[in-house]
A and B are shown apart, each in its own frame.
Chain A
Amino acid sequence: MTDSQTAVRIANMDKFYATFHALKSIDLEVAKGERIVICGPSGSGKSTLIRCINKLEDYQAGSINVLGTELDDNLDNIDEIRRETGMVFQHFNLFPHMTILENCTLAPMLVRKQPRVEAEAVAMEYLTKVRIPEQADKYPGQLSGGQQQRVAIARALCMKPEIMLFDEPTSALDPEMISEVLDVMVSLADEGMTMICVTHEMGFARQVADRVVFMADGEIVEQGAPEPFFNNPQQERTKAFLGQILGH
């Protein structure tokens, strides 16, 4: 894989919380256009890993390179990487004091210096894409969880990122709202967006993932294409995990 095709390269990365070794010698390479699903038991470090990619979490050893930019202590590099990576959170984290439209236009106007008219046009385009253009003038608190999460996806897309990070996007949703969010993610994957998703939605993983990464105890235990990963897992811990979440 040449550099121009690599979206994210994590090499020999370690993360500590004080003395707790949260991530252990992580090596992970994600190609442009690739869809990665990261799964694993709770506390395995999968959210921490994805949060390291845009430096919401610091790491202590090794290196992370995103789209050719080294993620180090240089604030300019961090800003550069954050501009190019969108992130969707478990709890949506919409800005409650702004309308849906303002949520979507704020960063493009401040960070990308887009004129308001242009930013609003782009925002309406993406709100239409996630199928809630009619909610543009409402406030987040007036929307259901599923609608809020779709807005969060639109808000991230308005920055026209190269990579989208999803941190358990459906875990905080009522069951009947999960599919509306997954549908949006599937259509995004179909358009060739580079995606790294931490999720427990194994149906989604089977449908769109190019590669499934299984983590436990801060390590990548096993990874592979969905078909062999689900049908013929190699590691005992993977088998145990899959047995638990697919076993009924």
Chain B
Amino acid sequence: MAKTYAKPGILEQLRADYFSNKLDAAMTLVFGTLVIWVVWNLLGWGIIHAVWTQENREMCGHGGDGACWAVIDARWRLILFGLYPFEEQWRSAIACIAIITVGILSCVPAFWHGKKLAALWITGFAIYYVLMRGGVFGLSEVSVQDWGGLSLTIFVFAAVTLLGMPTAIIFALLRRSDLPWISRTMGLIIDSIRSLPLLSIMFTFAVVLPFVLPSWLPTEKLYLVVIGYALFFACYQAEIIRGGMQALSAGQEEAAKALGMSYWQRISYIVLPQAFRNALPPTINQLVITFKETSLVVIIGFFEVLASGNAAYGNSDWNFAHIEVYSFVGLIYFIFVFSLSRYGAYLERRLAVATR
């Protein structure tokens, strides 16, 4: 008679996984208790004893055993929209949703064609700009200096990535040029920019550059900072892409050459798709870092979501509620970073079929 596999019962499985010997059992008890204690306290603070609405705000801060989410109820618009004029904040909301929608759509494989992506992003940024800036279609004009909150964070991130990614590809291709003077010069540029702190690059682009640039060029600080940041991003991402290219066997390009494919055909159909697949984990990593470091635009006086959060509790009414505000901002960051990482995992699964 053939043997059959007997699935272990739950108790047996628990015993095997967590209580297999004395040390194992002891560690399970210690860490299990710790986890339960932390979760219980968080639940108690964040949900059970929490104050949720402004009407109950006088209950905040007394007894001190619950979170005061009333601060979010009162100040969420400041956190999400910064200094943007209160009456016009619906524009900022729609603009933000437009960019996020475009971002999500461009993650869908059906949109992975150069022309579709270009059309998508041009539309997205056009909607964003018209809504945020105003001055047309009867919308009142809002100065770029007043853009802020989550809308600004998303805009900086999207613009940096979108400008930075094609630049990174070009940098990576120049870096591996057959002509030594091109590849070495590119290497020198990449190394120089990577050796500078992002903060100093942003400062230089926003504050110093306007004095140097000819007067007919736009000198809006926000755009200059985005360009500087994109350059910084491109240098890191170029090395990530180059790493992905190096993992390709020389035979791939040779096969494409032997089929008569031109340089750009080889790059866009054979080299880059495989390089990006190889470089997916570090690319997602770089995007996460880039998203978080958008908070540095505060040094040139822009109130992105973190700085707006600082402002939200920075008055006498709410100055005790910084933990709640930071938790809320942290949650926003987490939602974006977690989505990025899940998307990365999806891409890895999708591409895994073709890797074996």
Residues in A lying within 8 Å of B, measured CB to CB:
54-56, 79, 82-83, 85-87, 89, 91, 93-98, 106-107, 110-111, 139, 141-142, 152, 155-156, 159, 165
Known interface pairs A93-B254, A141-B354; A82-B260 also in contact (CB < 8 Å):
yes
- With a cutoff of 8 Å between Cβ atoms, the chain B residues found around residue A55 in the complex are 257
User: Can you list 30 contacts pairing A with B, beta carbon distance less than 8 Å?
Assistant: A54-B257, A54-B258, A56-B254, A56-B257, A82-B257, A82-B258, A82-B259, A82-B260, A86-B259, A89-B254, A89-B255, A91-B249, A91-B251, A93-B251, A95-B270, A96-B354, A96-B355, A97-B273, A97-B277, A98-B354, A106-B259, A107-B261, A111-B259, A111-B260, A111-B262, A139-B354, A139-B356, A141-B355, A152-B255, A156-B259
Chain B interface residue count, Cβ-Cβ cutoff 8 angstroms: 23
Contact A93 B259 (CB under 8 A): no
- With a cutoff of 8 Å between Cβ atoms, the chain B residues found around residue A85 in the complex are 258
Instruction: For the A-B complex with A56-B257, A111-B260, A142-B356 known, give 13 more contacts whose Cβ atoms are closer than 8 Å.
Output: A82-B258, A83-B260, A86-B258, A86-B259, A89-B254, A91-B249, A94-B255, A95-B252, A106-B261, A107-B261, A141-B356, A156-B259, A159-B259
A-B pair number, CB within 8 angstroms: 73
Residue of A with least CB distance to B277: A97
- With a cutoff of 8 Å between Cβ atoms, the chain B residues found around residue A97 in the complex are 273-274, 277, 351, 354
Kindly state the separation between the CA atoms of A85 and B178 in the bound complex, as whole angstroms. Answer: 25
Does B265 reach chain A (CB closer than 8 Å)? yes
Does B269 reach chain A (CB closer than 8 Å)? yes
- With a cutoff of 8 Å between Cβ atoms, the chain B residues found around residue A152 in the complex are 255
Kindly state the separation between the CA atoms of A111 and B259 in the bound complex, as whole angstroms. Answer: 8
- With a cutoff of 8 Å between Cβ atoms, the chain A residues found around residue B261 in the complex are 106-107, 110-111
Chain A nearest CB, measured from B347 CB (Å)? 12
Contact A96 B259 (CB under 8 A): no
Chain A nearest CB, measured from B146 CB (Å)? 46
Choose among A55, A86, A106 the residue with the greatest number of B CB atoms under 10 Å from its CB.
A106
Kindly state the separation between the CA atoms of A32 and B258 in the bound complex, as whole angstroms. Answer: 20
